[in-house]
Structure 1
Amino acid sequence: MLIALFQILDFLLRIVGWVIIGQVIISWLFAFNVLNASSSGVRGFAEALERITAPLYRPIRKILPDFGGIDFSPLVLLLLIQILRMLLGGLAVELTYSDA
């Protein structure tokens, strides 16, 4: 039962990671004028991704210094998610072997 909980948490963290990657790619496509910001569908999708990720980036942006227009908060968040996934995996293994 506990292993299933760890698997669900790992799955959710993976989904959040992919959402962050998607938001970064969309923002780059807007920045380099590959996507047209006047399209309501594309703009709505980009705004939805921004609303999902902005609360996650906010605490990191408060800590990081200004890098002159380059936002490293998605990279930091992806690294933190990966570290959390490794810690959860290690904890799951420990709990599995301690019960045996």
Structure 2
Amino acid sequence: MTSIFQIMLLILDVVWFIMILHIIMSWLLSFEVLNRRQPIVDQIWIGLNRLLEPIYGPIRRIMPDTRPLDLAPLVALIAIYALRIIIRNNMYAF
């Protein structure tokens, strides 16, 4: 049972890393450090959006519209962190 919890924590860590990468890349695109006209940058951006839209989409539907500022990644990061805490605290109960 412990290995299942460790696998769940590993998956949450990977999702956390991908979300941080997406957030940093969005900042770099906003400040025009990266350019979406470059094919590799555009492919990475599209891939990250496709990976994370199933997570961000339901959060965006629930949250009020804050048009220039997207708070869905912040809420998702907090939710992942909370899940990690819940899994770690209950891992040894089984």
Shorter chain as denominator, the TM-score bin is: over 0.9
Partner of 2:53: 54
CA-atom RMSD, angstroms?
A: 0.8
Determine the structure 2 residue equivalent to 1:73.
72
How far off its partner does 1:89 sit?
1.0
Q: What TM-score results when the alignment is normalised by the length of structure 1?
A: 0.90
- Once residues 36 and 91 of structure 2 are traced to their aligned partners in structure 1, the CA distance between those partners, rounded to angstroms, is 44
Matches within 5 A, 1:5-16: 5-16=4-15
TM-score, L = length of structure 2: 0.95
Which is further off, 6-15 or 62-71? 62-71
Runs of at least 5 residues in structure 2 that lack an aligned partner in the other structure: none
- Residues 48-100 of structure 1 show CA distances to partners (whole Å, capped at 9, x for unaligned) of 001000110000001111123100100100110111111111111222xxxxx
- Whole-angstrom distance in 2 between the partners of 1:28 and 1:65: 22
Deviations 1:20-51 (A, max 9, x none): 11011111111111101110011101110010
Runs of at least 4 residues of structure 1 off by over 4 A? none
Specify every segment of 5 or more residues in structure 1 that has no aligned partner in the other structure, as ranges. 96-100
Pairing 1:17-28 to 2, within 5 Å after superposition: 17-28=16-27
Work out the number of aligned pairs and report it: 94
* Map of 1:39 onto structure 2: 38
Give the distance between the partners of 1:33 and 1:88, measured in 2 at CA. Answer: 39
**Share of identical aligned residues, percent?**
35
